[in-house]
Amino acid sequence: MEYNIKCSNCHRPSHNLLDYKCPSCGQPLNIEITKKFNPDLIQTNNYSAWRYIDAFPYVKQTDIITLGEGWTPLVKFKNNTYFKLENLNPTGSFKDRGSTTLISALRKLVKNKNGTIAEDSSGNAGASIAAYAARSNLKAQIYVPENVSGPKLLQTQFYGAKIIKVSGTRNQVAQTAQKPSKNKYYIGHILHPIFRDGIRTLAYEITEQYEWQTPQNIFIPVSAGTLLLGILSGFEHLVLSNVIKKAPRIIACQTEQVSPLYHRIKNSPYKPPVHVDSIADALVSTDPPLLNIMTDQLQNAQGDAIIVKENEILLAFKELARKGFFVEPSSAVAFAAYKKQIRDKLIQQEAKTVVVLTGAGLKTPDTVTQHFP
Ligand SMILES: [Zn+2]
């Protein structure tokens, strides 16, 4: 085998790609790629994330469902700081890397059983899964909290997914989505290991676009942890394959309101607000199910975590837009954190740095307009 899927808790192997949690103990599954990354096997005439298909041994070339995701520009901002424009993915967020991998791996399995996929997300992931389901003629149910609205939900509806509104907490939405029923296959992006495994391509791309060097620092926004775990796993794979000597330092950026990982890393208690009303509306996981794994992986990789305040996010959002980079406020969280570390002299101006701009500005909720004259 060129890969293993194992439980993060009891280490029981899983041989069913449809498993989204351990069949024995219910804890999250992890994918380990035992095959080395080989730069000579990159499909250099494929200008999408699938140029790295050799590093995804569980996906057949003929099964790929693509909308042209990945191979996004790495654009110089100033000095040695670059932006990775993940907002330019087909549905307007980095989540397409996870969706293309997940749907490509599972489509036949679900289709053969005349199944419907189920996901819980009212945000970028819901829209992305809905798009790839549409591309591959799969039926999709997207479970959302009953009071949500906004551009991401509209986008999900336009792709033709069935929206199922659930009352109660965010956890109750997830539980309802997971409730077994005939021909329903839960493929939730937060738990399903293939989704975050697809994010490995971001690490490969940054490295290839950096001409097989690596930047010193990478700033990313972190909520449920799919971006964090995926990018860490990609760089670890490159190190273990002797493609790079050392992984970049990953800085996990959170809002003051939604900062469970930051508080865990800094060993301080975290009490989430009763209502999260941050303008960074993609960062809402106050109690992420993968928090233990995120903490372990970030610490093992000697990364760091940082929080930013609302006014810092708003200023960063405005500054990005006024320099031509129109991204959603959640993406500005990473830029705000970068500015803070420069200001506090925790990183140097000339350090090779990448800020990942995760989502498109057109996804910005209406409420943000109140901050503009
Ligand atoms: Zn287990």
Give residue-wise pLDDT tens across range 117-128: 999 998 999 999
Q: How many helices (H) and strands (E) does the chain have?
A: 11, 12
The confidence score (pLDDT) of residue 373 equals 67
| Ligand 1 centroid – CA 6 distance (Å) | 8
Judge contact between 208 and 174, C-beta under 8 A.
no
How confident is the model over 282-299, as pLDDT tens digits?
999 999 999 999 999 999
**DSSP category for residue 359:** B
| Ligand 1 centroid – CA 103 distance (Å) | 24
Q: How far apart are CA 57 and CA 33, in angstroms?
A: 8
Residue with the two structure tokens 């993968």: 290
| Ligand 1 centroid – CA 193 distance (Å) | 14
> How big, in percent rounded to 5, are the helix, strand and coil portions of the chain?
40, 20, 45
- In single-letter form, the type of residue at position 281 comes to D
Q: How far apart are CA 168 and CA 165, in angstroms?
A: 10
| Ligand 1 centroid – CA 293 distance (Å) | 14
* Cβ density class 18-28: b for 16+ within 10 Å, e for less: bbbbbeeeebb
pTM of the model: 0.97
| Ligand 1 centroid – CA 28 distance (Å) | 8
Q: How far apart are CA 328 and CA 357, in angstroms?
A: 9
| Ligand 1 centroid – CA 186 distance (Å) | 18
| Ligand 1 centroid – CA 29 distance (Å) | 8
Judge contact between 148 and 120, C-beta under 8 A.
no
Strand ranges in 194-345 using DSSP code E only, listed in sequence order? 217-221, 249-255, 304-308
Residue 365 confidence class, pLDDT cut points 50, 70, 90: confident
314 φ, ψ (degrees, to nearest 5): -65, -45
Judge contact between 160 and 93, C-beta under 8 A.
no
| Ligand 1 centroid – CA 294 distance (Å) | 17
How confident is the model over 159-191, as pLDDT tens digits?
999 999 999 888 899 999 999 999 999 999 999
How confident is the model over 57-73, as pLDDT tens digits?
999 999 999 999 999 99
Q: Report the chain's mean pLDDT, rounded to a whole number.
A: 96
Residue 366 confidence class, pLDDT cut points 50, 70, 90: confident
User: For residue 154, what are the contacts with CB-CB under 8 A and spacing of at least 6?
Assistant: none
| Ligand 1 centroid – CA 13 distance (Å) | 8
pLDDT at 301 over 80: yes
The confidence score (pLDDT) of residue 290 equals 97
| Ligand 1 centroid – CA 26 distance (Å) | 6
